[in-house]
Amino acid sequence: MSLGQKACRLAFAVGVAAIVALSLLPQPSMPDVQLSDKANHTLAYGCVMLAGGLGFWLGRQRLLLAGGLFLLGGAMELLQGLTPTRQMSLLDMVANTIGIAVGLLLAVLLTRYILQQPAKKAL
Q: What is the mean pLDDT of the chain?
A: 89
Alpha helices in the chain (DSSP H): 3-24, 37-55, 59-81, 90-116
Contact 27, 67 (CB under 8 A): no
Identity of the residue numbered 29 = S
Alpha helices in 56-89 (DSSP H): 59-81
**pLDDT score for 26:** 83
pLDDT tens-digit series, residues 46-105: 999 999 999 998 889 999 999 999 999 999 999 999 988 888 999 999 999 999 999 999
**pLDDT score for 109:** 94
3-state secondary structure of 123: coil
**Distances in whole angstroms, Cα of residue 109 to Cα of each of 24, 97, 104, 123:** 33, 18, 9, 29
Q: How confident is the model at residue 35 (pLDDT cuts 50, 70, 90)?
A: low
Pick the more confident residue, 122 or 4: 4
**Distances in whole angstroms, Cα of residue 98 to Cα of each of 20, 47, 94, 117:** 18, 11, 6, 29
Kindly list the domain boundaries of the chain, sorted by start residue: 3-25+35-116
Rounded to two decimals, the pTM is: 0.86
